[in-house]
Amino acid sequence: MSRLFSWLREVSASIATRFKKSILFLSTLGAWILIGWFYDNPLWLLAINSFGPVDGNIIMSFGALLINLCALIFYVWSKKDWLTVDVLALIKGNIAKEKGFFQKIWNTGLNILVWCLENGGNTLSFFALSIFGDSFLTTVYLRHGDLSPLEKKDFVIFFSSTVVSCLYWSLRNLGIFEVGRYLINIIINLSTLLTI
């Protein structure tokens, strides 16, 4: 039994050493991305379904504004770079080598984002991160590691990014919702025809 525990200790120490950056990613930025994905996808679609396209998008946009503003204020208040990860390296590391159809689409989007961050300057980076990320990540990235108190420029970037990001997510999720509703209606009509 002690051999088993010894072996498990060695294996877990090896994993922790090899994947320290991955563990760090999963504990900070990874958690932020996971929460953002849940908020931007199933929760946003549920709000559109529950409150209608206009009210659902307004509610979710306001919620995104509050969540990202609280995260930004906490980020600056803590005076710690709790993202601790170079965004470019992180994105490049997540470009998979698989060649499936959906993986190619995903990799294309990530490659566009990397190109914008490397070559596009602050303006393209602003739009790319506002669409692929959110106003919190956009503002933090464009502060270039500065943990000093927020200035007027930072708030302009934040609120502008919020508008761009929420407009994108509202239109995207409304499109997904309408396509889904159309497909469900087709399936219901086909099943009705088949039962006749």
Per-residue pLDDT reduced to its tens digit, 60-79:
999 999 999 998 988 888 88
pLDDT at 195 over 90: no
Residue 57: pLDDT band by 50, 70, 90 thresholds? Answer: very high
pLDDT at 60: 94
| Class of residue 3 by CB neighbours under 10 A (exposed 0-12, middle 13-18, buried 19+) | exposed
Residues 6+ apart with CB under 8 A from 4: none
pLDDT at 116: 80
Q: What is the pTM of this model?
A: 0.72
pLDDT at 189: 87
Distances (CA, A) of 140 to 125, 132, 134, 146: 12, 14, 10, 8
Neighbours of 187 (CB within 10 A): 10
pLDDT at 95: 60
Whether the CB-CB separation of 87 and 141 falls below 8 Å is answered with: yes
Whether the CB-CB separation of 51 and 140 falls below 8 Å is answered with: no
Average pLDDT over residues 156-166: 95
Could you tell me which of 105, 132, 103, 114 has the C-alpha nearest to residue 33?
A: 132
Residues 6+ apart with CB under 8 A from 106: 96
